[in-house]
Amino acid sequence: MVPTGERTDVRLANHAWEALMTAHSALMSVFGAEGMWGDISMREYDVLYTLSKADAPLKICDVQSGVLLSQPALSRMLDRLEQRGLVSKHPDPEDRRAVRISLTEAGAALQRRVGLAHAKSVAREVGGALTADELQDLARLCGKLAGR
């Protein structure tokens, strides 16, 4: 947040935004070209990863907050992942109209296997380009942008 009385430099803010989006695009291209994904797309992995971080089954809206998918696209993806035996749906005990989603054993195993390879790629690409202090700064700044 900009301190009271200070003006945001529009050009600088947009330059920073463009740099962030360019870095994201470049990294996603590198990660997408790697062979770790097998029968799962990066977006499907993202859903499995989001579910893997939860202590309990999640509502669809909670899964959606962790991924870059619209609610209809996410619902269709969850149906496909369920058909493949990677996620399961459970009635929501608090809302009979809603369901909660969790990983199956097969989904958790796939997430761990792909996640290990992906983590190594992230370490290579991001960790190889930045110092430890820069990585800490990047995490802090991104957290600040995300409102944490």
| Within a domain: 8 | no
What pLDDT does residue 46 have? 95
Reported as a single tens digit per residue, the pLDDT across 126-137 is: 999 999 999 999
For residue 7, name the pLDDT band (cuts at 50, 70, 90): confident
Whether residue 6 has pLDDT greater than 80 = no
Contact in structure between 69 and 77 (CB atoms under 8 Å): yes
Q: What CATH number corresponds to the domain at position 126? A: 1.10.10.10
Whether residue 148 has pLDDT greater than 70 = no
What pLDDT does residue 3 have? 55
Secondary structure, 3-state, the chain: CCCCCCCCCHHHHHHHHHHHHHHHHHHHHHHHCCHHHCCCCHHHHHHHHHHHCCCCCEEHHHHHCCCCCCHHHHHHHHHHHHHCCCEEEEEECCEEEEEEEEECHHHHHHHHHHHHHHHHHHHHHHHCCCCHHHHHHHHHHHHHHCCC
Reported as a single tens digit per residue, the pLDDT across 66-111 is: 898 999 999 999 999 999 999 999 998 888 888 999 999 999 999 9
| Within a domain: 68 | yes
| Within a domain: 134 | yes
Whether residue 1 has pLDDT greater than 60 = no
| Within a domain: 55 | yes
| Nearby residues of 114 by Cβ (< 8 Å), 6 or more positions away | 36, 37, 38, 40, 45, 48
What rounded mean pLDDT belongs to the chain?
92
Contact in structure between 104 and 87 (CB atoms under 8 Å): yes
Reported as a single tens digit per residue, the pLDDT across 11-62 is: 999 999 999 999 999 999 999 999 899 989 999 999 999 999 999 999 999 9
Range of the domain at 109: 30-145
| Within a domain: 11 | no
Number of domains in the chain: 1
pTM (two decimals):
0.85
| Within a domain: 95 | yes
| Within a domain: 7 | no
| Within a domain: 21 | no
What pLDDT does residue 146 have? 87
